[in-house]
A = this chain, B = another copy of it.
Amino acid sequence: MRDTEKAFIALRNTLSLYTSISDSTWQAFMTICKFKSVTKHSLLYKIGYTPSSYSYIYKGLVRCFSCDGKGNEYNKVFFDEGKFPGSMTALLTSSPSILSLEALEDTLIIEINFIAYRKLMLKNDELKLFQIYYLEKNWLLAKESREIEFVQNDATARYLCFIDEYSQLTDRLPQYHIASYLGITPTQLSRIKKNI
């Protein structure tokens, strides 16, 4: 079986984790999707651009980061297989994103056209349910706990949280990207690891 087919099967399985997806819903959904391959280090989208699609990761790894004016980057989330990287905010408000997405490995994705998805979702009850469950689980709750985790913990505790949350990614990610996620320098992360 080719990657394209396998990717679509994986996508349907992921949707089904949230709510049941009938064959007819799936047929309609597939027509607004496009399989795509992006090479390591390329950007799925850049700060300042208004994205027109979600992505679904079949294979690979993507980081989401913001930038300040001085050339520093700050990692916010990592997305691996089965996740939907993207700026929900930029999509919902059709405004330029304040975030960028970069592939950290050669990555296979399925692009889901955002406008077509909205149209389809608004007249399909299964997709409406998916949308609600997905938003609640992956955005509202995740954002709230990440914020609290960041505010309440020191860097060592945040590192332990990171290992807990991203155990399967700790060796796919370079140290300096982890450090940036934790809000510290690679030097400091090195010290923290030594102290544990």
How many residues of A are counted as interface, with CB atoms below 8 angstroms from the partner's CB atoms?
22
A120 in contact (CB, < 8 A): no
A37 in contact (CB, < 8 A): no
Q: How far is the CB of A88 from chain B (nearest CB, A)?
A: 7
Query: Is A136 a contact of B93 with CB atoms below 8 Å?
Result: yes
Q: How far is the CB of A76 from chain B (nearest CB, A)?
A: 8
Query: Is B89 a contact of A152 with CB atoms below 8 Å?
Result: no
Interface segment among A28-36, A139-147, A186-194: the answer is A139-147
Query: Is B98 a contact of A148 with CB atoms below 8 Å?
Result: yes
| Bound form: Cα–Cα A151–B98 in Å | 14
Contacts of A68 in B (CB 8 A): 152
Contact of A151 among B66, B141, B145 (CB under 8 A): B66
CB-nearest residue of chain B relative to A93? Answer: B136
Q: How far is the CB of A158 from chain B (nearest CB, A)?
A: 12
A183 in contact (CB, < 8 A): yes
Query: Is A136 a contact of B183 with CB atoms below 8 Å?
Result: no
Contact of A152 among B74, B93, B143, B144 (CB under 8 A): B74
Write the A115-153 contact mask toward B (1 if CB under 8 angstroms, else 0): 000000000000000000000100011011101101110
Chain A residues 39-92 with CB under 8 Å of chain B are 66, 68, 72, 74, 76, 88-89, 92
Contacts of A98 in B (CB 8 A): 144-145, 148
Contacts of A152 in B (CB 8 A): 66, 68, 72, 74
| Bound form: Cα–Cα A132–B88 in Å | 14
Contacts of A144 in B (CB 8 A): 89, 98
User: Apart from A93-B136, A98-B145, what are 17 other A-B pairs with CB-CB below 8 Å?
Assistant: A66-B148, A66-B151, A66-B152, A72-B152, A74-B151, A88-B140, A89-B140, A89-B141, A89-B144, A93-B141, A98-B144, A98-B148, A143-B143, A143-B147, A150-B150, A150-B151, A151-B183
